[in-house]
Amino acid sequence: MQLSDLAGNEELKYELSEAMSARSLPHAVIIEGEKGVGKRTLASMLASYAVCTSEGVRPCGVCSGCVKAAKNIHPDIFTADGMNSGELNIESIRRIRSDAYIKPNEAPGKVYILLNCEKMLAAAQNAFLKVLEEPPENVMFIMTALSSANLLQTVRSRSRILTLYPPSVSEAAEVLKKLRPDVSQEIILQSAVDCGGNIGASLELIASGGEEEKKAAEEIFRAIPQTSEYDLMVASGKIAQNRAFAVAVLDRLCGLSSECVRASYGAADAGSTAKELAGKLSRKRLIKLQSTILHARDVLNINVNLNFYSTWLCAVLRSE
């Protein structure tokens, strides 16, 4: 893949293209952005650039290095994911640090792709800091995180931060058409709209039929009448993973709260879940909740921090 294959983010792509042409990419980058926005895709592109052996444009896509990188079999590209237990703990980071000083097998340099770095504990980040401060020659570290703010300032200051944003809805729809030609144009466009242009989230939404968002919304609603706040806090916290998912869940919550109010009045066409949930709360509280959830959906349109938002959502739902 080339940078041009990455949807949106024109300013960032221009900046990276210039750096690639000048062979001046930094030794360490942090790619930040919400889930599904293309962090891993960009990380793979940069890794291909680092192992490409072309004398011209890199990555060329045809040399042995690029072909192996595309197949995830290049011996000089190492990948670790913080979502997998032990892959980014302090022992693993020390092994990476030692391995970085060993000469590459066949490429001009070595690449370490460290995914979901916000999962690294401070001790592991401090251990990693040593190799960032005195990097070996021709070694590149590519980190991804939901937000670089979740990493130590000392790590951030020694890395170039690249922020990815979802493309426009129309750009996302064009990409989705190519990725899912079997899906109708109406569903593709609606998924792009619902997910705010987030291509990864749109693909998940198309694949799941919205079941994950529906399940999350029902978990939140079921937790509202519980005596303990813990279940609601956990359920609300799940929407912090990315904005597109949060928007879809709040849309589902709006619909569910409205259906529950209708069920409280005996609407025959109300679903079984709505009838069940309506029976656990008074009509007065259901009406107040409907208003609160609509307001919460509007608040989400503001560019709020999702961690703060999920905590706030839990508090306002409990107050009703």
Over residues 241-288, the pLDDT tens digits come to 777 788 888 888 988 898 899 899 998 877 888 899 999 999 999 999
Choosing from 131, 163, 195, the residue where a domain stops is: 163
Q: How far is CA 185 from the centre of its chain?
A: 25
Residue given tokens 């979740």 in the structure block: 150
Is 115 a member of any domain? yes
Task: Identify whether residues 217 and 159 lie together within a single domain.
Answer: no
Which pLDDT score is estimated for 23? Answer: 86
At 146-195, the pLDDT tens digits run: 999 989 999 999 999 999 999 988 999 999 999 999 888 878 887 887 77
Q: Is the pLDDT of residue 10 over 80?
A: yes
Is 191 a member of any domain? no
Q: Is the pLDDT of residue 207 over 90?
A: no
Task: Identify whether residues 159 and 74 lie together within a single domain.
Answer: yes
Task: Identify whether residues 146 and 81 lie together within a single domain.
Answer: yes
Instruction: Count the helix, strand and coil residues of the chain and give each as a percent rounded to the nearest 5.
Output: 60, 10, 35
Is 183 a member of any domain? no
Helix (H) or strand (E) holding 285: helix 283-300
SS3 141: strand
Task: Identify whether residues 143 and 245 lie together within a single domain.
Answer: no
At 63-121, the pLDDT tens digits run: 999 999 999 999 999 999 998 988 999 999 999 999 999 999 999 889 999 999 999 99
Question: Average pLDDT in the 291-305 region?
Answer: 86
Q: pTM for the full model?
A: 0.68
Cβ-proximal residues to 210 (8 Å cutoff; 6+ apart), any chain: 248, 252
Task: Identify whether residues 147 and 224 lie together within a single domain.
Answer: no
Cα–Cα distance for residue pair 240/242, rounded to 1 Å? 6
Query: How many independent structural domains does the chain possess?
Result: 2
Burial state string for 212-247 with b = 16 or more CB within 10 A and e = fewer than 16 = bbbebbbbbbbbbeeeeeebbbebbebbbbbbbbbb
Is 30 a member of any domain? yes
Cα–Cα distance for residue pair 190/184, rounded to 1 Å? 10
Task: Identify whether residues 158 and 282 lie together within a single domain.
Answer: no
Choosing from 163, 197, 222, the residue where a domain stops is: 163
Task: Identify whether residues 153 and 217 lie together within a single domain.
Answer: no
Report the CATH number at residue 223: 1.20.272
Task: Identify whether residues 155 and 278 lie together within a single domain.
Answer: no
